[in-house]
Chains A and B, each alone.
Chain A
Amino acid sequence: MSVLRTSNRVRGFLSRRSTVLALLGAAILLLDLTRRVVSGDIAGSSLALFLWDGVVIGLVVGLAGIGLSMTYNILSFANFAHGDYLTAGAFSGWVAAFLVAGAGRFDVGDLFLLGGRGGAVDSQTVGVSVTATPVAVVVGMLVAAGVTAVLALVVDRAVYRPIRDRSGISLLIASIGVAFILRYVIAFVFETERLGVTSGAKVPSTVVPLLDVRITAHEATLVVIATGLMFGFHVFLQRTKLGAAMRAMSDNKQLARITGIPVERIVRLTWVIGGSFTGIAGFLVVLESGSISFNFGWLLLLLIFAAVILGGIGSIYGAILGGLTIGVISRLSLVWLPPSIMNATAFAVMILVLIVRPRGLFSGGTSV
C-alpha cells in the first residue's frame, strides 16, 4: 500500500507544496513573534518563561516518548496503553516515596493511599520534596522505574506476545483494552480525585537573573534527571554491544533476525528500558506539577504520540527532539492563542506533520 502512496506524482507535488507552506507559516509566526518581542507586546521574561515551561514539559514527554517510539518501531504497533504506564509508574513511585517519607509518623495504610479518602496524611504533613526528603524521592523514582518495567514485560507476555504476528491494528485494539484495565485498576485503588503529593511551600526556587524566570527545585530535578537518562541511554546505544544490537534491530528487523541478534531478548530489553524511562517520566511529571490523578498519563498520551511522530517512529533522538518541539510549540502558542486550547494546538501540529512529513521532521539521517 505504501508503494501505491509514493507512486502518485500529484501527491508528491502536494506534499512538497504543503512542506513549503508549512515552512512559510512557521517563518511568518517567527517574524511576528520577533515583532511582538521587539515592540514590547510581549515581555522578554514571559517569552523566556514560555520557553522554559516548554523545555520542562518537552523533556518529560520526550523521556516517555523513547519507550513508545522503540516499541512502536520494533513491534509495529501504536501502544495506546503507554500513557497509562506513566500513571502506573507514578502511582507506584509516589506510594513508595510516601512510605519512605512518612515512615513511623503516619499509618501505613493512609500513606499507601497517598492521603486519599480521608486519613491524616496529606501533601503538606508528609512534606515530600527533593530538598526535604531526597531519599524518598530517589526511592520513589527507582520504584517507579522498576514497577513500570515489570508491568511492561508482564503486559507484553500476557497480551501482546500471543498476537504479535497479527496486524498492527489488532495489537492497537488490544492496547486500548490494556489502557482501560490499568486506568481503572488505579481508580479502583486510589479513587478518581486529584491528590496533592508535594509540599509546594517547601520547594525552594530561584530566579534566573537577566531572564527573570523563576525555576523551582523540582523543575530543575526533572531537567537534570531527564537529560541525564537521555545522555546515559545515548552512551549505552553507542558504546555497548547490547546497544548496538538494539540499534541494528531498530534499523532493520529482518536483517537483525538473520544476523543472529537475539530478537526476543532485545524486545524484552526494549520493554524494560522503555518501561523504566516511562515510569520515571510519570514520577517526574507528578513531582513537577505537585499532584497526581488516575488519568494524567492518558491525557499526556496524545502529546507523547505527537512527539514520537514528529521525531520519526523508531528514532530515539527524534523522540527527544520531538518532545522538546511539542513542548515549546504548545507553550509558544500562548503568544497567539488562549491557554485553554494549548493541547489542541499541539495535536494540530502533530496532524500537520503526519500529513506533510509522515516519516517525521527529523527523519532522513540514521535512525536511533
Chain B
Amino acid sequence: MTLADRTRTIFSRDWTTDLPGGDATLVVLVMLALYTWVGLFGIILGLDVSGLLNSLQTITFYAAVYAILALALNLQWGYAGLFNVGVVGFMAVGVYTMAILSRPVAPISGPPGFGLPLPIGLIGGVLAAAVIGLVAAIPALRVDDDYFAIITLGLAEIIRIVISSPAADEFRVGSIRTGTGGANGLSLPQNPIHSIYYTDPASPAAGTTPVGDAVFSIFEAVHVDPAVVVKITYAGVLVGFVVLYFVFLSRVGNSPYGRVLKAIREDELVANSLGKNTDRFKVETFIVGCALMGLGGILWQGSQGFTSPGNYLPQQTFYIFIALIIGGAGSNTGSIIGGALFAGLLFEGPRLISRLVDQFLTFRSSPNNFVDAVVPLLSLDIGPFIVYALDSIAYLRFILVGSILIYFIHNRPQGLLGHRKEIAASIDLLDRSAETEGADDE
C-alpha cells in the first residue's frame, strides 16, 4: 500500500518543525492543552485537588496507552505498510500469557497459573505476542493488503473466541492445570506499583512502606488521596514507556532500516529490485510490532488487576487506527499526538461534556426512549431530545469517532503531522559539511 494517494502542497517548513525543543515541545504543548481542557471541566464541576489530579492522571493514562499502541502500529503500517487489523489479538496474547505465567499455582478463585515471578510473566507475554506475530507474518508475504487486513482481523477474533471459550477456562498443559477463565475473565497479578508504597501489595490496609509514608504524607498535605497517588505513579511509568517506545522506534525509523521499510510501503517491487530482501524486513517488522503491542496490552489491560475477553473486541483495534490516522501514519511524533488527542478529545471528551451538562442543566422530562425523545421535536420542544442524547452519549461518541475517521480520510489522509518530511536516515543527509562526529546529531 502506498500512503501516496494524496494531493497536497508541501511545506518545506512549518510551525511544528520550527518549535524550539522540537517534537518534545510539541507533545508537551498538546498535553498541556489537554490538561487545561480537562482541568477546566474539573474546576467547573467543583472537584477537589484529589479529584482534579485524578482526572488529569486518567487523561495521562489513556493518552499514554493509546500513544504506545499507535507507535507500535505505526512501525507496521506507517513505515512498512502492513495493515494489521488484529492489534487487540496481540494485546490479548501478551496479557493472557503474562497472567497464566504469573498467577499463583493455587489461586483463591479462577484457574491456577504457573506461579512464576511477574517479570518472567511479562517477558513471556511479550515473547508470546512475537511468536503469534511470526505465525501471522507468514501470510503477510503472500497476500494483498486488504486480504491481510481480513486475516489479521480473523486471527484476533479467533484468539478472543478461544480465550473466552469454556474449553479454555481451565485446561491441562502436561501435568499442570491452568486456564484463561473463559468468558468470566481472569484476575491479574497486582500492579507492581503497589509494592513501592504498601508493605502488602494485595492489601493497602496492611500498612505503608517508608517510601509510601513519605510520598503519601507530602500529598496528604494538599489533600490528595493515596489511591490517586498510586495511579499517578503508574501514569508516570507509562509516560516513561512512551519515551522508550519513541526513542526505540525513532532509531529504527531514522536509519537505513526505516528507509527500506518506507520503500516497501511505497513500492515493494522497487525495494526488492534494489537488492532488499523485502520478506525479511516485513517479517521482522511485523514480529517486533506485535511484541510491542503485546507489551502495550500488558501495560494497559494488564495493569488493571482484572481482564476479560470483552477488553479485546475489534473496535479497540479501530480506536488505535483512528489515533494513528489523526496523528499521521508514518510519523512517530504524530502517533503520540494522535494517541493523546484521541484519548483526550474523542474518548474522554464526550463523557466530560455529558457530566457537565448533567450537573448544570435540568430538564423537565427525561424521555424513556427514542420515540419519546423525538415526538416532542414535532412541537419544537428539543429538551427531551437533548436529554436523551446526553443519556446515550456513549453511542454518540462512536458516531463521532466514525465521522471523524471519514473526515480525515476524505480531507486529511496524511493526518495532522503526516505532511512533514521525516527523512529516514541516521544523519542529516542534506548537510554534507557535517563531517565530524556529533555535528549532525539529532
> Counting CB contacts under 8 A, is B143 at the interface?
yes
* In the complex with contacts A113-B370, A169-B83, A341-B165, A179-B151 CB distance below 8 A: no
* In the complex with contacts A1-B144, A354-B139, A177-B405 CB distance below 8 A: yes
1/0 contact trace for B395-414 toward A, CB 8 Å?
A: 11011011111100110010
The answer to whether B405 and A176 touch across the interface, beta carbons within 8 angstroms, is: yes
> Counting CB contacts under 8 A, is A180 at the interface?
yes
The answer to whether B167 and A340 touch across the interface, beta carbons within 8 angstroms, is: yes
A148 to B167, CA, bound (A): 39
Contacts of B395 in A (CB 8 A): 184-185, 187-188
* In the complex with contacts A11-B142, A113-B369, A340-B167, A181-B403 CB distance below 8 A: yes
* In the complex with contacts A163-B410, A340-B165, A117-B321 CB distance below 8 A: no
A81 to B1, CA, bound (A): 21
List residues of A (148-205) whose CB comes within 8 Å of B's CBs. Answer: 159, 162-163, 165-170, 172-174, 176-181, 183-185, 187-191
Contacts of A159 in B (CB 8 A): 406, 410
The answer to whether A2 and B406 touch across the interface, beta carbons within 8 angstroms, is: no
For A180, the closest partner residue in chain B by CB is B402
Contacts of A165 in B (CB 8 A): 5
Contacts of B157 in A (CB 8 A): 302, 343-344, 347
Distance (whole angstroms) from the CB of B157 to the closest CB of chain A: 6
List residues of B (160-204) whose CB comes within 8 Å of A's CBs. Answer: 161-162, 164-167
The answer to whether A168 and B146 touch across the interface, beta carbons within 8 angstroms, is: yes
Contacts of A1 in B (CB 8 A): 144, 267-269
Residue among A15, A116, A338, A344 with max Cβ neighbours from chain B (10 Å): A344
The answer to whether A350 and B154 touch across the interface, beta carbons within 8 angstroms, is: yes
Out of A77, A162, A180, A350, name the residue touching B399 (CB < 8 Å).
Answer: A180
The answer to whether B158 and A348 touch across the interface, beta carbons within 8 angstroms, is: yes
The answer to whether A167 and B150 touch across the interface, beta carbons within 8 angstroms, is: no
The answer to whether A173 and B405 touch across the interface, beta carbons within 8 angstroms, is: yes
Out of A3, A187, A338, A354, name the residue touching B269 (CB < 8 Å).
Answer: A3
Contacts of B402 in A (CB 8 A): 176-181, 184
The answer to whether B167 and A338 touch across the interface, beta carbons within 8 angstroms, is: yes
1/0 contact trace for A101-135 toward B, CB 8 Å?
A: 00000000110110011110000000000000000
The answer to whether B2 and A2 touch across the interface, beta carbons within 8 angstroms, is: no
> Counting CB contacts under 8 A, is A42 at the interface?
no
A77 to B142, CA, bound (A): 18
> Counting CB contacts under 8 A, is A255 at the interface?
no
A78 to B151, CA, bound (A): 12
How many chain-A residues does the 8 Å CB contact rule pick out? Answer: 59
* In the complex with contacts A4-B268, A176-B321, A341-B165, A309-B147 CB distance below 8 A: yes
Residue among B5, B139, B405 with max Cβ neighbours from chain A (10 Å): B405
A180 to B44, CA, bound (A): 32
> Counting CB contacts under 8 A, is A305 at the interface?
yes
1/0 contact trace for A331-353 toward B, CB 8 Å?
A: 00000001011011001101100
* In the complex with contacts A176-B321, A309-B150, A113-B399 CB distance below 8 A: no
The answer to whether A174 and B146 touch across the interface, beta carbons within 8 angstroms, is: no
> Counting CB contacts under 8 A, is B106 at the interface?
no
* In the complex with contacts A112-B371, A163-B409, A344-B162, A173-B396 CB distance below 8 A: no
Contacts of B161 in A (CB 8 A): 340-341, 343-344, 347
Distance (whole angstroms) from the CB of A359 to the closest CB of chain B: 10
**Which range holds the interface residue count of chain B?**
35 or more
> Counting CB contacts under 8 A, is A5 at the interface?
yes
For A179, the closest partner residue in chain B by CB is B402
Out of A166, A172, A347, name the residue touching B154 (CB < 8 Å).
Answer: A347
The answer to whether B158 and A174 touch across the interface, beta carbons within 8 angstroms, is: no
Contacts of B151 in A (CB 8 A): 351, 354
> Counting CB contacts under 8 A, is B149 at the interface?
yes
> Counting CB contacts under 8 A, is B153 at the interface?
yes
The answer to whether A167 and B1 touch across the interface, beta carbons within 8 angstroms, is: yes
The answer to whether A166 and B5 touch across the interface, beta carbons within 8 angstroms, is: yes
For B150, the closest partner residue in chain A by CB is A305
Contacts of A187 in B (CB 8 A): 392, 395, 398
The answer to whether B145 and A168 touch across the interface, beta carbons within 8 angstroms, is: yes
> Counting CB contacts under 8 A, is B375 at the interface?
yes
> Counting CB contacts under 8 A, is A229 at the interface?
no
Out of B154, B370, B410, name the residue touching A190 (CB < 8 Å).
Answer: B370
* In the complex with contacts A183-B398, A358-B147, A174-B142 CB distance below 8 A: no
> Counting CB contacts under 8 A, is B318 at the interface?
yes
* In the complex with contacts A2-B144, A11-B142, A180-B399, A351-B154 CB distance below 8 A: yes
The answer to whether A181 and B399 touch across the interface, beta carbons within 8 angstroms, is: yes
The answer to whether B405 and A351 touch across the interface, beta carbons within 8 angstroms, is: no
A183 to B145, CA, bound (A): 25
Contacts of A344 in B (CB 8 A): 157-158, 161-162, 165
Contacts of A181 in B (CB 8 A): 398-399, 402-403, 406
> Counting CB contacts under 8 A, is A355 at the interface?
yes
The answer to whether B368 and A118 touch across the interface, beta carbons within 8 angstroms, is: yes
> Counting CB contacts under 8 A, is B220 at the interface?
no
Distance (whole angstroms) from the CB of A87 to the closest CB of chain B: 14
- Residue numbers of A with Cβ under 8 A of B are 1-5, 11, 15, 77-78, 109-110, 112-113, 116-119, 159, 162-163, 165-170, 172-174, 176-181, 183-185, 187-191, 302, 305-306, 309, 338, 340-341, 343-344, 347-348, 350-351, 354-355, 358
Q: Which 7 A-B pairs have the closest CB atoms?
A: A180-B402, A177-B405, A109-B371, A184-B398, A117-B369, A340-B165, A181-B402
Inter-chain pairs besides A184-B402, A309-B150, 6 sampled, C-beta below 8 Å: A11-B141, A170-B413, A173-B409, A188-B395, A306-B154, A354-B139
Selected A-B contacts with CB under 8 Å, 27 pairs: A4-B268, A5-B142, A78-B149, A78-B150, A159-B410, A167-B145, A168-B146, A169-B1, A169-B149, A174-B409, A176-B318, A180-B398, A181-B403, A184-B399, A188-B389, A189-B370, A191-B369, A309-B147, A340-B164, A341-B165, A344-B162, A348-B154, A351-B154, A354-B143, A355-B138, A355-B142, A358-B147
